[in-house]
């Protein structure tokens, strides 16, 4: 009987060996990461020892946020890939961050100390209770002579004093331990622990042509990674180009640290579908990015969301009071009775009326399309209905890739890491500008012509005047201007002063009218060691009624816009040279009225 059992066992063993597939766990390393504005593509490599025949390779220790549709496996031709599967292994946790483990160990040690001290405090309390109870019993059950009372009082007093002091020390020690635990817990909470994350696993079934050591490459997309640009723009002199440093602000929380990886930054949008996209016509219309701001305050219930966490991101329009207020779905737009997917092609000046529908009133008319609310826009003109489809592309963006030269380390802690990826010089025209009626300072303005050739992406810019930080600006690629103007702050070596001239001040009564004359002197001085050109801006008031008449008397050769009253001077100043400008005007109005003329 025993012999028969052994034979049966051998039969099953050989059947399993013949028909089973060898499973092998494979460790891989991250070699390259392409970071997108949302998401990242991970490229891993592994070396595997293959046995001829079928094998199941399990790549373990991967991110749990893999998009399974994006997985791509590349071999070296020595084996055929039969099947690829993805799963998250909840029995295997990702490697724990050493810093997190250290913090947890310290917290645990302190908690043990708190328990120990707490036990000692309880023991001391029990001793004190024992002493107090016995003291009461001794005094009640028998009369004490003075000598005995003195002896007992000394014993009780000494012990109680010692025990209370000891308990106080223990309490203070517990408080100190608890404060340290709170600090460590705060530090632990600030780190994004990956200890509870499952291990991502890719299972690859292959058939090897021969026994050998081979290479395996794996590519896939993950969520919880992003980047956005920022810039350092430096002014080094009026005869020198601007120096621009491009910086990427990268953060990731994929569960896996990227250690010494080659980084590529991409502005493209991730596309994980193997299906070719459907062609749609590209219709051109005027694009008005400021339309969302024009809607603010025009009708009750409209909310403009600007804080997406990424500088340069467009505003989003939402309707208050509906359940999808924090979702990524905008309301349905209905322009002159026609539903549209967006309203960026509408000129804000053409908007006549805005109405808001929500809840039942929206879905009753527009069905499920109105579940996020409906924005009814009526324009000032009745335009002819267009044959263009309702979905209109407002703009197209060209994607770019930037290779970061040195390998980088980006930890999985959801914290921004700033990485420089490009430097360039930009030719600019520099001009000094001042509006002394508002501020008696002279500002240096850099005008960058053909700035779009610099491959700017929307983002924040730190502005430096030589080596001094002067403030922040923003790069807005949707501004549709040939020249990008950047203010480099005030230049204290150029001064301007605006003062009222009393000799030009005059009040006259002419019949039923009153006439006031007023004048100002602008004094501009160049204290720099080289000549400069400055644009000075002031104004003549503009009347809004025929009863108020304004007369321009003197503007020292400046150019005036009669509609706005804006007066501009282009002044050339040599080193240590000063110039004076006069602006003088009169205002006539009914003498029984009051007018502020400055």
| 501 located within any domain | yes
Tokens of 136: 């009461």
Look-up of token digits 């779009």: 452
Tokens of 362: 């929206």
| 468 located within any domain | no
Q: Are strands 374-379 and 332-335 parallel, antiparallel or unpaired?
A: parallel
| 38 located within any domain | no
In sequence order, the β-bridge partners of residue 174 are: none
SS3 (DSSP) at 552: strand
Q: Assess whether pLDDT exceeds 80 at residue 172.
A: yes
Helix 146-190 with 98-141: angle, nearest 10 deg: 160
**Residues 6+ positions from 511 with CB-CB distance below 8 Å:** none
Note the pLDDT of residue 222.
93
Note the pLDDT of residue 230.
92
Asked if 300 and 357 count as a contact pair (C-beta separation under 8 A), the reply is: no
Q: What is the DSSP string of 246-293?
A: EEEEEEE-SSS-EEEEEEEEE-SPP----SPPPP---------TTHHH
Asked if 536 and 581 count as a contact pair (C-beta separation under 8 A), the reply is: yes
Distance CA 273, CA 28 (A): 25
Residue 470: C-alpha distances to residues 344, 528, 530 (Å)? 34, 19, 22
Q: Assess whether pLDDT exceeds 80 at residue 547.
A: yes
Give whichever of 289-293, 334-338, 511-515 has the largest mean pLDDT.
Answer: 511-515
Note the pLDDT of residue 521.
94
Distance CA 89, CA 61 (A): 9
Asked if 29 and 62 count as a contact pair (C-beta separation under 8 A), the reply is: no
Q: What is the DSSP string of 75-97?
A: --SSEEEEEEEEEEEEEEEPPPP
Distance CA 559, CA 557 (A): 7
| 481 located within any domain | no
| 267 located within any domain | no
Note the pLDDT of residue 384.
42
User: Average per-residue pLDDT in the chain?
Assistant: 79
**Residues 6+ positions from 60 with CB-CB distance below 8 Å:** 25, 26, 27, 89, 92, 199, 201
Distance CA 110, CA 83 (A): 51
Distance CA 510, CA 595 (A): 16
Distance CA 21, CA 179 (A): 56
Give whichever of 285-294, 368-377, 379-388, 488-497 has the largest mean pLDDT.
Answer: 488-497
| 477 located within any domain | no
Q: Assess whether pLDDT exceeds 50 at residue 135.
A: yes
Tokens of 401: 């890739």
Average pLDDT of the residues in 43-72: 91
Residue 279: C-alpha distances to residues 11, 312, 387, 497, 575 (Å)? 60, 29, 18, 62, 62
Q: Which domain holds residue 130?
A: 98-190
Task: For residue 348, count other CB atoms closer than 10 A to its CB.
Answer: 14
Distance CA 47, CA 216 (A): 6
Distance CA 84, CA 68 (A): 10
Q: Assess whether pLDDT exceeds 60 at residue 16.
A: no
Tokens of 191: 């780190």
Asked if 254 and 40 count as a contact pair (C-beta separation under 8 A), the reply is: yes
Domain boundary among 190, 220, 247: 190
| 54 located within any domain | no
- Report pTM: 0.59
SS3 (DSSP) at 302: strand
Q: Please give the residue that has the higher pLDDT: either 583 or 389.
A: 583
DSSP 348: G
Q: Assess whether pLDDT exceeds 60 at residue 277.
A: yes
Q: Assess whether pLDDT exceeds 80 at residue 424.
A: yes
Q: Please give the residue that has the higher pLDDT: either 593 or 298.
A: 593
Nearest Cα residue to 207 out of 411, 38, 53, 422: 53
Q: What is the DSSP string of 370-402?
A: GTT-EEEEEESS-PPPP-S-S----------EE
Distance CA 519, CA 540 (A): 10
Asked if 190 and 97 count as a contact pair (C-beta separation under 8 A), the reply is: no
Q: How many domains does the chain have?
A: 3
Q: Are strands 258-266 and 408-410 parallel, antiparallel or unpaired?
A: antiparallel
Domain boundary among 339, 356, 379: 379
SS3 (DSSP) at 223: coil
List the CATH number of the domain containing 577.
Answer: 2.60.40
Give whichever of 286-290, 319-323, 449-453 has the largest mean pLDDT.
Answer: 449-453
Note the pLDDT of residue 237.
81
Nearest Cα residue to 421 out of 235, 225, 245, 241: 245
| 311 located within any domain | yes
pLDDT above 90 coverage of the chain, percent:
30
Average pLDDT of the residues in 386-393: 38
Domain boundary among 190, 210, 228: 190
Q: Assess whether pLDDT exceeds 60 at residue 567.
A: yes
Note the pLDDT of residue 193.
47
Distance CA 581, CA 534 (A): 13
Q: Of the ranges 381-390, 472-481, 560-569, which one carries the lowest mean pLDDT score?
A: 381-390
H-run or E-run covering 11: helix 2-19
3-class SS letters over 477-537: CCCCCCEEEEEEEECCCEEEEEEECHHHCEEEEECCEEEEEEEEEEEEEECCCCCEEEEEE
Distance CA 268, CA 562 (A): 48
Q: Assess whether pLDDT exceeds 60 at residue 32.
A: yes
Task: For residue 562, count other CB atoms closer than 10 A to its CB.
Answer: 9
Distance CA 397, CA 266 (A): 12
Asked if 320 and 331 count as a contact pair (C-beta separation under 8 A), the reply is: no
């Amino acid at each position: 009987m025993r012999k028969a059992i052994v034979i049966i066992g051998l039969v099953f063993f050989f059947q399993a060996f013949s028909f089973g597939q060898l499973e092998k766990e494979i460790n891989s390393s991250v070699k390259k990461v392409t970071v997108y504005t949302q998401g990242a593509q991970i490229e891993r490599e592994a070396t595997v020892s293959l046995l001829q025949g079928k094998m199941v390779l399990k790549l373990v220790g991967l991110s749990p946020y893999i998009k399974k549709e994006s997985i791509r496996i590349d071999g070296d031709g020595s084996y055929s890939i039969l099947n690829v599967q993805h799963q998250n292994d909840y029995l295997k946790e990702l490697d724990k961050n050493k810093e997190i483990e250290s913090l947890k160990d310290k917290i645990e040690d302190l908690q043990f100390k708190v328990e120990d001290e707490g036990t000692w405090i309880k023991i001391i309390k029990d001793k004190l209770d024992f002493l107090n109870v016995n003291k009461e019993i001794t005094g009640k059950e028998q009369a004490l002579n003075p000598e005995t009372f003195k002896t007992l009082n000394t014993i009780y007093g000494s012990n109680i004093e010692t025990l209370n002091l000891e308990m106080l020390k223990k309490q203070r020690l517990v408080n100190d331990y608890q404060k340290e635990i709170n600090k460590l817990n705060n530090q632990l909470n600030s780190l994004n622990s990956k200890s509870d994350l499952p291990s991502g696993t890719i299972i690859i079934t292959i058939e090897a042509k021969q026994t050998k050591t081979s290479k395996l490459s794996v590519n896939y997309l993950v969520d919880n990674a992003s980047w956005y640009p920022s810039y350092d723009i430096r002014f080094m002199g009026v005869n020198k180009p601007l120096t621009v440093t491009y910086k990427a602000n990268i953060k990731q929380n994929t569960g896996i640290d990227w250690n010494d990886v080659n980084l590529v930054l991409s502005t493209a949008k991730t596309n994980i579908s193997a299906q070719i996209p459907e062609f749609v016509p590209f219709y051109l219309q005027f694009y008005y990015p400021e339309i969302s701001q024009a809607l603010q305050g025009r009708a009750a219930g409209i909310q403009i969301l600007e804080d997406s966490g990424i500088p340069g991101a467009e505003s989003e329009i939402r309707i208050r009071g509906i359940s999808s207020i924090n979702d990524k779905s905008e309301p349905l737009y209905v322009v002159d009775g026609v539903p549209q997917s967006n309203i960026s092609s509408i000129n804000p000046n053409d908007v006549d009326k805005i109405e808001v529908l929500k809840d039942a009133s929206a879905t009753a008319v527009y069905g499920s399309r109105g579940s996020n609310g409906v924005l009814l826009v009526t324009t000032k003109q009745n335009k002819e209905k267009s044959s263009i489809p309702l979905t209109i592309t407002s703009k197209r963006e060209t994607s770019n890739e930037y290779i970061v030269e040195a390998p980088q380390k980006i930890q999985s802690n959801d914290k921004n890491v700033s990485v420089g990826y490009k430097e360039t010089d930009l030719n600019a025209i520099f001009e000094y500008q001042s509006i002394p009626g508002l501020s008696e300072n002279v500002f240096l303005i850099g005008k960058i012509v053909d700035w779009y050739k610099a491959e700017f992406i929307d983002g924040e810019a730190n502005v430096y005047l030589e080596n001094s930080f002067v403030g922040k600006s923003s790069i807005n690629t949707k501004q549709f201007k040939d020249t990008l103007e950047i203010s480099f702050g005030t230049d204290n070596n150029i001064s301007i002063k605006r003062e009222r001239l009393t000799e030009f001040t005059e009040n006259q009564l002419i019949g039923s009218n009153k006439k006031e004359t007023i004048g100002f002197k602008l004094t501009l001085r160049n204290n720099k060691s080289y000549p400069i050109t400055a644009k000075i801006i002031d104004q003549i008031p503009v009347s809004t009624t025929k009863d108020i008449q304004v007369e321009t008397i003197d503007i020292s050769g400046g150019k005036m816009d009669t509609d706005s009253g804006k007066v501009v001077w282009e002044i050339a100043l040599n080193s240590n040279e000063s110039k004076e400008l006069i602006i003088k005007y009169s205002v006539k109005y009914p003498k029984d009225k009051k007018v502020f003329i400055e």
